[in-house]
Every structure is written in C-alpha cells, then in structure tokens.
Amino acid sequence: MPKNTKYIFVLGSVLSGLGKGIVTSAIAKNFQVRNKKATIVKIDPYLNIDAGTMNPMEHGETFVTDDGGELDEDFGHYERFLGEPMSRKQNITTGQIYYSVIQKERRGEYLGKTVQVVPHVIDEILLRFKEIEETSKSDIMMVEVGGTIGDIESQPFLEAIRQLHMNIPEENSLFVLVTYVPYPRHISEHKTKPTQHSVRELRASGLVPDLIICRSEVPIDTKTLQKIAFFCDVEREAVLDLPDLSSVFEAPQLLDSQEISHLLSKKLQLSLDTPDWSSLESLLNQHKKINGKLIIGIPGKYTDLVDSYISVNEALKHAALKFGWNVELRHYATEDFESNPENIAKLNEVDGILVPGGFGDRGTEGKIAAIQYSRRENIPFLGICLGFQLAVVEYARNVIGLAGASSTEISESTPYPVVCLQEEQKDIKNKGGTMRLGSYPITLKEGTKIAELYGSLEINERHRHRYEINENYFNQLQDGNLIFTGFYSHLLETLELSNHSYFMGVQYHPEFKSTPWKPSPPYEGLIKAAIQRSTGRKSA
Ligand code: GLN
C-alpha cells in the first residue's frame, strides 16, 4: 500500500529572518493539537554538510540533536514547539546532496553518463524526501526551504519540489509562502509589491502558493490582505496575517483563529479533530502572570548576534517563566574585561551569570575573570561546556594554586593542562562531525544539588565538544568545596561548589532539551538562586 503522505512546503520571500521556522512550527503545532503528527524537514541550500562548521555570528546557533546532528537553529524551534526530538536526517543541505552524487559518480553508478544538476542532483534530493517519508511514521511531511525565493542556490530544491508535486495527487501537496509586508512609517500603510513580485518569481519556478502568511511589525488591514489575495491569485481566506507577537507561542492559535485548519483540511482532504489547546493556553496564561524581571549576565564572544545563543536564551526564559519571572539578558563582551579589569565590576548589577559554550581562545581570559567574580561575590553561576571547562581552569589557578593552569585548547604549553584532549581525539584531523556529539547517559552523585534539581541519578543530555576535564587532576581539584557530581564512564560531566549560593558547571548543553513545559534543571537552579539574589537585594 503506498503511503498517502501529505507534503507541505514552506517557502520564504522578500527577506530572510522572517521567522519561517516559527511559522513552520506553528503549523505543525496546529496538527499536533488535532492528533496528527507532522514530520519537519529543513532544507539548507549551503554547501556545508551541516551547521557544525559554521560561524554562529553568521549563521546563528548550531542546534544539537540526540543523535548527534549539528543542525540549523530552526530545529530548536521545532523541538520547543512540539516537545519531540528531531533527527539529523531531517536537515538536508546542498553539501550532503552533492557529496552523495559525487561519491556515486566515483563508484561508477552513473557510468557512461554526464552527471548533471538535472536529473542527477534533483533525483538525489527526491531520493532523500522518499527515504524520510518511508521511515517517518507521520501522515504529514512539512518541508521548510531555507533562504529566500530568488536565491540561486535554492533553485535545484525548487525544481525537485516542482517534480514531486507533479507526480503526486493534487490533494497531497500544499505550498505556504511566508512573506514580508513592509510598513514604511512615512506613508503609514502596508506595501504589497514585494510580495507580488515574489509570487511572480515563484511562479517562474513552476510553483504556486496555496497559502500566504504575511509577516509584519503591525497587524495588516483587511483591504491590504484582499489586495494580496487578488494580485497573487489566491483566495482571500488563504491570506493570513501574522504580525510580531509578544510570545512566539501565540502564533499557532493566531493561525487557528484565521481558520488555517479549515484551509489545510480542505486543500489536503484531511479530516482534522477539534483542537486541544489546553497546554498551550496554560503556558500563555503563565506569561500574563509575570511579576518581576531578573537580569542574567552572559559574558561571551558572540555578543553581537542574539541568535548565537538562542537555545540558551530560551532555556533561561523557560525556567524564569516557571517561577513567574521575566529575564533580561545582558551580553558582555569579555574582551572588555581583558582590556580594562575594572569593567568586571559591571557584573555586580546582575542577578545571575551564565558563561556559555564556545571555541578558541579569544575572550577566554575575560570569561575566566567573570567566573572568578561570580565565585568570589557569591553571584549565582552556571557554566555550560566551555563555561564549565573554564570554571575548572579558574578554580585550579586561583584556589588550588596551579599558576598558569589552562585548557590545551587555549594554551598547548600550559604547565597544568586541567582541560585537555582524550586519546581518541588526538589523531582526529577532520573538524566536521568529529566532536563528542549528541546524547550520552550521565550518572549523578547522590545528595548533590544537581541530583536534587533533576530528581534522578540517571540523566541523558546532549554534548558538543572536543576537550574534557583532565581526570588526572580529579583528586587535587576536589578540595572539599568543589565536587565533581556527574560522570559518563571515566569522563567528568558536572561540578558544583558547596560553599556558594549556586555555582554549577556542566560539560553538556542542557538548553537543547529545555521547553517551556519542561525547563532544564540546571537552568532552573540558576533562576531560583537569581530570584533569591534579586529579592534579597530589593529588601536590603
Ligand atoms: N571548545 C570546547 C571543546 O571543544 C567547548 C565546546 C563548547 O563549548 N561547545 O571542548
């Protein structure tokens, strides 16, 4: 029996950064609350095999899945909205497609043929769709195409989609166009021309939108929506308005209020149950009950692009929301602490400090200074991955007295390599996909703060790093105040200080598993301690 999979393609027009990932998640959520499962595939038309080798300043965060995928940050939105783990197989890049085609060519699988974009690259894309369709247990496949209509690099994907659309029954595919409708202040009205041009461009690729979702800073009036419908040749009710929202989690219901389910079921000939919005609604109600604001300081390197740490930012918000607080994130460029050590005192204004993950040595001394400041001033602290490793470096130098202690990532000639490569990492030359990646089981020590936060001694968390705490310093570092509290085999995964309000370091990235419904325990610990500091300061 052939599967009757319904394909929904989500394309973006006019500009990037429209929140296509949010729109895709919000549509998938509309299925989920109606007991239908949608698998989401994201296409990234760049030549990297995955997002692991890209600069977060350019591309945003690299999101890590349980199965060790280093994926586009949109996967974070998908998981946070749906509460389901995604797989590396769901992220297709041009790099993967070409890599596979070239390998086939070398093996002689196209022997005698001229290997070309049409048909070989297109067929490879179609093959990937087919594989995911066959292995996924869902009725709906959503395919979000990265980039913007008109990009040269997404052309092969659009052609593959056109062919797929042609070869399946009409009711098995639907095209969603996410567009930007600008509102120039000096004329105070929405402008539809960029959308009209994009639709024309899309039609030139042989694709026609069924649904247009309009993004704008402010709500769009009915007359303008009518105009878009008329000039883009779609029904009026198929043009939906999605202005900026105070919480992205309002998006699913905003689409629902414009009858998206009716449009989806009509076009796809799909019967949909009445929705159960209760868990989303209780979340949105929590937003309304917020009574205070915490300031969390993030000393880091990528301070310019908020998206570099998007999962960290979200995890902090999730944990704060649970206790009825908002968070204001203050990013500090750690190089400022290096150029003028007095700047470190700025951190006194925060309620908690989080030192996130990172690579390379730029700004690390400033991060170490920030960690020392939180330790000495008893400011709640959470160190993630590099932040954890640097907490060990700081403690080794300033408490244990190992002058010049460091990580070999920062200084190969350090006299005390308290963070270093494991044997199995030493011979690895290729940088792509070779870190310790994905979910590993961790055993926590009974009676510790971290075990209390997780409420369990066996946990699973996601990793993305190459260096480890050097176990040769295990005894020397544990001076009675510092305790290593979590282990995977012989590797040291977590630490805490017993003489501090909250000082926690974790080798893994707990933010990747945080959702608003289930905040991450180490983040919850930080927020609880930050609330105490904030309320203590106010009453002092
Ligand atoms: N650079 C460090 C390592 O590779 C930490 C990585 C991270 O913070 N994700 O081990």
CB 147 within 8 A of CB 12: yes
* CATH class given for the domain over 290-539: alpha beta
- The reply to whether ligand 1 has any atom less than 6 angstroms from the CB of 409 is yes
Give the span between the Cα atoms of 12 and 257, in whole angstroms: 22
178 within 8 A of 133, measured Cβ to Cβ: no
* Residues in the chain, pLDDT under 50: 1
Contact predicate 210/175, CB 8 Å: yes
pLDDT of residue 540: 76
Rounded to whole angstroms, the Cα distance separating 103 from 213 reads 39
Question: What residues act catalytically?
Answer: 385, 509, 511
Tell the CATH topology of 6-282: Rossmann fold (3.40.50)
Nearest CA, atom 1, ligand 1: 359
DSSP state of 83: -
Q: Give the separation between CA 133 and CA 352, rounded to whole angstroms.
A: 45
* Cβ atoms of 252 and 240 closer than 8 Å: no
* Exposure string over 394-403, b if 16+ CB within 10 A, otherwise e: bbbbbebebe
Omega prior to 119 cis, within 30 of 0: yes
Residues in Cβ contact with 524 at an 8 Å cutoff, skipping those fewer than 6 apart: 319, 322, 453
Best CA proximity match to 147, nearest among 157, 139, 137? 157
Which token pair is 427?
A: 């011979």
Residue 88 token pair:
């590396």
> Which DSSP string corresponds to 182-226?
---TTTTS---HHHHHHHHHHHHTT---SEEEEEESSPPPHHHHH
Output the CA torsion sign for 18, 21, 27, 29. negative
The answer to whether 387 and 393 have CB atoms below 8 angstroms apart is no
Task: Kindly state if the Cβ of 367 falls inside 6 Å of ligand 1.
Answer: no
**Ligand 1 within 6 A of CB of 506:** no
Non-local CB neighbours of 59 within 8 Å, separated by 6+ positions: 51, 72, 73
Ligand 1 touching residue 511 (CB < 6 A): no
Q: Please work out whether the CB of residue 436 comes within 6 Å of at least one atom of ligand 1.
A: no
Cβ of 369: how many Cβ atoms within 10 Å? Answer: 19
Counting ligand 1 atoms within 8 A of each CB, the residue from 409, 428, 463, 491 with the most, and so the one to mutate, is 409
What pLDDT, on the 0 to 100 scale, is given for residue 301? 75
pLDDT value, residue 1: 43
Same-fold call for 6-282 versus 290-539: yes
Task: Say if CB 468 and CB 492 are below 8 A apart.
Answer: yes
Q: Is 340 helix (H, G, I), strand (E, B) or coil?
A: coil
| Helix/strand/coil for 291 | coil
Q: Which of 62, 385, 410, 507 to mutate to test the pocket of ligand 1 (most atoms within 8 A of CB)?
A: 385
Which pTM was predicted?
Answer: 0.95
Order of all β-strands in the sheet with 406-407: 406-407, 417-421, 467-469
Atom of ligand 1 minimally distant from the CA of 356: 8
3-class DSSP assignment, residue 175? strand
User: Dihedrals φ, ψ of 163, to 5°?
Assistant: -65, -40
pLDDT the model gives residue 303: 61
Residue from 207, 259, 217, 208 nearest 238 by CA: 259
Is 80's C-beta closer than 6 angstroms to any atom of ligand 1?
no
Both tokens of residue 265? 């079921």
Pairing between β-strand 6-12 and β-strand 211-216 as defined by DSSP bridges: unpaired
Q: Where are the domains of the chain?
A: 6-282, 290-539
CA–CA separation, 71 and 196 (whole Å): 32
CB of 465 sitting under 6 A from ligand 1 = yes
d(CA 357, CA 369): 16
| Mutational pocket test of ligand 1: of 390, 466, 468, 470, the residue with most ligand atoms within 8 Å of the beta carbon | 466
DSSP-derived secondary structure letter, 78: H
Q: For residue 374, which of 320, 428, 332 has the smallest C-alpha distance? A: 332
Instruction: Collect contacts of 340-347 with beta carbons under 8 A, ≥24 apart.
Output: 341/369, 344/369, 344/370, 344/373, 347/297, 347/299, 347/373, 347/374, 347/377, 347/379
- CA 483, distance to chain mean position in Å, is 31
> Which residues in 316-435 belong to E strands, given as ranges?
325-333, 352-355, 381-384, 406-407, 417-421
The total of other beta-carbon atoms located within 10 Å of residue 306's CB is 13
Any ligand 1 atom below 6 A from CB of 309: no
For the chain, the residue count is: 540
Residue 391 C-alpha from the chain's centroid: 25
Which atom from ligand 1 is nearest to the alpha carbon of 358?
A: 8
Q: Which helix (H) or strand (E) holds 40?
A: strand 38-44
Q: Measured between alpha carbons, how far is 517 from 529 in angstroms, rounded to an integer?
A: 20
The contacts of residue 413 (CB under 8 Å, 6+ apart) are: none
Ligand 1 atom showing the smallest separation from residue 359 Cα? 1
CA 194 to chain centre: 29
Q: Which two tokens stand for residue 241?
A: 């308005």
